[in-house]
Structure 1
Amino acid sequence: MTVALETVDLPTGETIGYREREGGSVPAVLLHGNMTSSKHWDVVLEAMADRYALYAMDMRGFGESSYEEPIDSLADLAEDLALFVDELGLERFHLWGWSTGGGVAMEYAAARPDRVRKLVLLAPASTRGYPIYRKDERGNPTDEVLTTREEIARDPVQVAPVLEAHEREDAATMKAIWNQLIYVNERPDPERYDEYVADMFTQRNLVDVDYALTRFNVSDEHNGVTEGSGRAADIEADTLVLRGEDDLVISEAMIEETLADLGETATFVELAGCGHSPLIDDREQLLEEVESFLEA
């Protein structure tokens, strides 16, 4: 099926890029994670059942989308999503968020529960955020959470090396980071991998997104940075939470927090032999679980 790269202008002045797979009658919107864009959904756009009309959005500051107004929160990105689906005329749709996109999807589903048919969260940021801890002299995390953009940008383990690779457009270093943390089992074919890395360098908001992740909190708990909004309880859609058993980015504890906060609406499935990118590790297993859930 044909995939078209399109753009749409929002009333806020931002332009949103997106990939639309033509055909299908059941709309589903896909939200990528940090350091990626809609480009990284290509394996799903190629293989998901043709009954689905797929819209993979570049969030503000990623891929083909603009970054006129900096973000402070994942809720800012959820508001972009709200305007985006209105511009496309999507009234009710399935919503699938991966990693950071999972947090954005939760914000949207809580704010507009009538618009989301079913919610899929693939290796999502916890409902209580994704903290970045201060490192000691050996580079090991302490129990102190970084709270400012300036501190986050200087983090010597999780952030600064990525920023430096971005500034130099250093593909070799970026691949080394991804091979260590994301593609721990399988890797994309060389041509696709090169395209992914080139796409990573289009991001303009890495520190802003990391800052937003530390402040994201839709639970009833204080997460060490912000008081919880309690909005997880406003999510009405049946929700599938997925995590690869070898995920080095999203821990089991983070998934347990998410499941506890979402309550009875959520079902959890562990993906065997997968890390943080089941799209590459085992696309067939991933799509089997997602499509079975959406069709139930």
Structure 2
Amino acid sequence: MREFEFKKININDEVLAYREGGTGSRNLLLIHGNMSSSLHFDFLMDALYDTFKIYAVDLRGFGHSSYHERFDGLEALSEDLEIFVDKLRLKDLELVGWSTGGGIALQFAADNPELTRRVVLLESVGITGYPIFKKDASGQPILTELAMTKEEIESDPIQVAPVLDAIKRGDSEFYKNLWNAAIYTAGNTPDPEDYNRYIDEMLLQRNLVDIDYALTRFNMSDTHNGYVQGSGDIHKVKCPVTIVQGDKDVVVPMAMAQGINEALKDNSKLIILENSGHNPMVDSFDQVVSIIKEF
């Protein structure tokens, strides 16, 4: 696998780490999801090397980027990328957003139509965000009660508190068990050496509560999502959008992909990957490469 240059750049009060490489003529910005980093794109970057000039950023509070300022919305991370793109004088961008990164990619496209040529969403959060429900005594979600504050999210006994404890302990086995159960639901996992590298990067995350809170408040629709009224920003996305969704994803339900597709109408297409979970870069690698190259 090719080596990609690892760099850092000042973004106001933050420092963003990023991987850069490729010899192609098309500019590609890769945006990772929650509990991950730009390293998760390593094999994808290698496969796209000849087609694109590639930039994969560690978002604020992930990987090797700084985390000086806390945040409440995905818009803050999109704005970090706006500054990043401006500093590198990039244009005609194709964005690939994975999971939470899909929401950030859509927000970037809405706010920067003149810079965005195309968006590819991989198992993306929906345009009405990702709710966190309070839990009952047995740990089951109470579907009529939302966790509203950062304090309530931080103390969530199922989705959040155990992950925070694992990060504090540097518990790679917890992370592996969690990802085997929730992410790799199609039965595929990375090679052990690669898996260990990815987990080492996952454990560098410092912003879990902020990200989870931001996901609950993310709402580009026209409706109220239980937390906030929608911004309607989805209507500002003017570029083509390809929505890629695995049929075995248990993290992001199919309804979220369908909701994005319906909201964008003629501007989008939905591709359903068979026997693929929340990480199609492992479950459906060749298809994902082909989809990103195709334009």
Task: Establish whether TM, by shorter chain, passes 0.5.
Answer: yes
Deviation at 1:137, TM superposition (A): 1.6
Give the equivalent residue in structure 2 for 1:39: 39
Q: For 1:141-190, what per-residue CA distance to the aligned partner results, in whole angstroms no more than 9, with x for missing partners?
A: 11222111111111111111111111111111110000000012210101
8 Å CA contact retained: 1:271, 1:286: no
8 Å CA contact retained: 2:27, 2:91: no
8 Å CA contact retained: 1:154, 1:160: yes
Deviates more, 1:66-75 or 1:253-262: 253-262
2: distance between equivalents of 1:260 and 1:140? 30
Give the equivalent residue in structure 2 for 1:189: 191
8 Å CA contact retained: 1:128, 1:258: no
* TM alignment of 1:71-110, pairs within 5 A: 71-110=71-110
Deviates more, 1:127-136 or 1:139-148: 139-148
2: distance between equivalents of 1:63 and 1:234? 31
- Change in 2 beyond 3 A, CA 1:273/1:59: same
| 1:254 aligned residue (253, 256, 264) | 256
| Structure 2: gaps spanning 5 or more residues | none
1: distance between equivalents of 2:191 and 2:121? 25
The one-letter code sitting in structure 1 at the alignment partner of 2:169 is: R
Give the equivalent residue in structure 1 for 2:57: 57
Deviation at 1:289, TM superposition (A): 2.1
Q: Match of 1:77, SS?
A: helix
Give the equivalent residue in structure 2 for 1:167: 168
| 2:212 aligned residue (210, 213, 222) | 210
8 Å CA contact retained: 1:16, 1:65: yes
2: distance between equivalents of 1:50 and 1:119? 19
Q: Match of 1:119, SS?
A: strand
Q: Match of 2:255, SS?
A: helix
Give the equivalent residue in structure 1 for 2:121: 121
Deviation at 1:67, TM superposition (A): 0.7
2: distance between equivalents of 1:164 and 1:2? 33
8 Å CA contact retained: 1:6, 1:20: yes
Q: How many residues align?
A: 292
Q: Match of 1:82, SS?
A: helix
TM-score by length of 2: 0.97
The one-letter code sitting in structure 1 at the alignment partner of 2:177 is: A
Give the equivalent residue in structure 2 for 1:264: 266
1: distance between equivalents of 2:264 and 2:142? 28
8 Å CA contact retained: 2:28, 2:96: yes
2: distance between equivalents of 1:49 and 1:70? 34
TM-score by length of 1: 0.96
1: distance between equivalents of 2:265 and 2:233? 12
The one-letter code sitting in structure 2 at the alignment partner of 1:81 is: L
Deviation at 1:49, TM superposition (A): 5.2
Q: Match of 1:279, SS?
A: helix
Give the equivalent residue in structure 1 for 2:130: 130
1: distance between equivalents of 2:157 and 2:265? 36
Give the equivalent residue in structure 1 for 2:287: 285
| Structure 1: gaps spanning 5 or more residues | none
What is the CA RMSD across the aligned residues, in angstroms?
A: 1.0
Deviates more, 1:278-287 or 1:189-198: 278-287
8 Å CA contact retained: 1:4, 1:22: no
8 Å CA contact retained: 2:22, 2:48: no
Give the equivalent residue in structure 1 for 2:246: 244
2: distance between equivalents of 1:34 and 1:66? 16
Give the equivalent residue in structure 2 for 1:148: 149
Give the equivalent residue in structure 2 for 1:157: 158
Q: Match of 2:260, SS?
A: helix
8 Å CA contact retained: 2:23, 2:49: no
8 Å CA contact retained: 1:2, 1:22: no
Q: For 1:20-52, what per-residue CA distance to the aligned partner results, in whole angstroms no more than 9, with x for missing partners?
A: 113221110000000101011111012125121
8 Å CA contact retained: 2:22, 2:50: no
8 Å CA contact retained: 1:31, 1:98: yes
8 Å CA contact retained: 1:153, 1:160: yes
